[in-house]
Structure 1
């Protein structure tokens, strides 16, 4: 069953001294792609600034802007309405492990097979991935098995990790948030030879949400594994990505999808954090 969801996402920075100029890019506009249609989207900045948009290398829409009036706070607010689709069933068939190891696949998806900044390899995790893969006959069975393996070893605990925490750090610490679950899943999937990419976006917190009720939503992260086509799986919650998941960006890991990046001239900055409000419209 498809949903229609309205999202309001606000984030930004506060500066210790007035900033003379800043150059920024935001990734907060949901994608229009298979299983998702963005009906409305806008980005507002305070101070007000002219914006322009482009699509980055990974297919994410970026809103870029610069501010040249002195300011001590920068607030970026994205508003969107998105139609999502129900979760796709896990493929009954797909490429075999041998097919994934063949050159056409490894060449095409090399960027999603190699370790990345926040999903580096680690000897113990590589061994765990290969042992886990050996107990599953197909790559399609392996993807949810990875999520179960992670949930047995990682406790969801907000505030214990940050945006620059790697999968290895979170695994050794034994706790983290959705970003850490996704990064650890990438390490295991890639170590077994299965192409996998990081997905960032939003999650409506309630599977039986009332139409018209606005609630606190979540910035969220999950993964997609290549099983002949990309299949989304949420390792934090142990479910396939579905109507409650709104895709904003995809990449190798968080480093490719940061919601707000910029450079500025002025005092030190403090993040204003992130607030997300979501409303199921239908």
Structure 2
């Protein structure tokens, strides 16, 4: 009989988030990226997104393949609440690449490969590195004969050097007329040696790209308990991890130091968090009337 720890899991996820505005807002436009993906490692059995105040919603896939639930409010309001509920069947890690396997360094340098993954090789506002971190990336690359082994070593370096700061960072984004630009989370966390899962994933992605390994940021959910009891509802996490390409994509959670498996649920992928924010709003109004992102609440129940 197969141990429950190696079986597929069935997870019910409820994700509640929103905005509180400083005063009445006459209209606002929203994008929610809370709908899990249907793909080889996970199957979405049920999903729906509810908004308050009530509004008509529509769904589409964005440039990166993430399901977006969009809606707008055209009556005065001071608060917005979005609740996404889904049931997802997930699988344990499988078909893992050994350290010495996968594409070699010359393979990643072929012009066709560089052109194919150009967007996932370039630094972004949140994945740019300091000179010190760039030198560390070069050292890690030089010490390993294959890109996959170097990628795993980069994850080990980040896990050893950076303490996890609890709580999601930048989970919601409200954009008004005087919105400021992004910041380099990778640079900040590299200097401070402390960050949330989003920051740690940005740093890992930055190191991978500096080594010449195509890498993408993954946004989703994590059940916190490897030995979760069936039927128990727990406080889950809005989580982030990384994937890199060495002939094919492989996923790893640098925060927990494990391959992505049955406890992980993918929602979206992109260059960085800015491509996959769970909730984003655009509103017209004077400076200072901006929205404050409400605390994110995620609950997860293992159904099987």
Q: What range describes the TM-score normalised by the shorter chain of this pair?
A: over 0.9
Q: Report the equivalent of 2:110.
A: 102
**1:210 and 2:229 are equivalent in the alignment:** yes
Q: 2:18 aligns with which of 2, 9, 12?
A: 12
CA distance in 2, matches of 1:48, 1:5: 27
Could you tell me how far 1:240 is from its partner in structure 2? 0.5
CA contact (8 A) 2:127 2:184 kept: no
Matched, 1:170 2:189: yes
TM-score normalised by L of structure 1: 0.96
Q: Could you tell me whether the CA contact under 8 Å between 2:44 and 2:89 is conserved in 1?
A: yes
Q: Distance in 2 between matches of 1:265 and 1:109?
A: 36
Equivalent pairs, count: 282
SS in structure 1 opposite 2:294?
Answer: strand
TM-score where L is the length of structure 2: 0.89
How far 1:88 sits from its partner (Å)?
Answer: 2.5
| Matches for 1:83-232 after TM superposition, within 5 Å | 83-92=89-98, 93-158=101-166, 166-232=185-251
Q: Do the aligned residues in 1 keep the contact of 2:168 with 2:238 (CA within 8 Å)? A: no
3-state DSSP of counterpart to 1:23:
strand
- Secondary structure at the aligned position of 2:295 is classed as strand
Q: Relative to structure 2, which stretch is displaced further, 262-271 or 25-34?
A: 262-271
Displacement of 1:265? 3.6
Q: Distance in 1 between matches of 2:12 and 2:168?
A: 30
Give the Å deviation of 1:13.
0.6
| 1:18–1:161 distance in 2 versus 1, CA, 3 Å | closer
Coordinate RMSD, CA, aligned: 1.5
Q: Which runs of 5+ in 1 are unaligned?
A: none
SS in 1 for 2:151: helix
Q: Which runs of 5+ in 2 are unaligned?
A: 1-6, 172-182
Q: CA deviation at 1:189?
A: 0.5
Rounded Cα–Cα distance in structure 2 between residues aligned with 1:199 and 1:88: 18
